[in-house]
Amino acid sequence: MLRTPTRPAETAVAVTPSDSTTYEPTRGIFVGAGSGALVVRMADGVNATWNNLAVGVVHPISVDRIVSTGTDGSYTGILLIY
């Protein structure tokens, strides 16, 4: 099925930060709990650090990796939204 920005999310995948695991680019990410720094690799291949993301909401960013190095270990319940 073709995914377009106007369609609602269809699925979510729970992930653990990893420096080597790559996923299909997301429509967003969800963080269940925590604070601090969350390092992601954006869909364009550039790493970005997001500080103190709000928990309990979907952040509309396209990422293909949740990077372990530099990510604060307090973040839990990370979901990739597709």
Bridge partner residues of 63 (DSSP): 42
For residue 80, the SS3 value is: strand
Q: What residues does each domain of the chain span?
A: 18-81
pLDDT for residue 7 = 79
pLDDT for residue 2 = 53
Sheet strands (E) in 27-76: 28-30, 37-42, 47-51, 58-59, 63-67
Q: Which of 58, 62, 72, 60 is nearest to 23 (CA)?
A: 62
For the chain of 82 residues, list the mean pLDDT of each consecutive stretch of 10.
69 97 97 95 97 94 97 92 96
Of the chain, the percentage scoring pLDDT greater than 90 comes to 85
pLDDT for residue 5 = 60
Could you give the count of Cα atoms lying within 13 Å of 74 in the half-sphere of its Cβ?
9
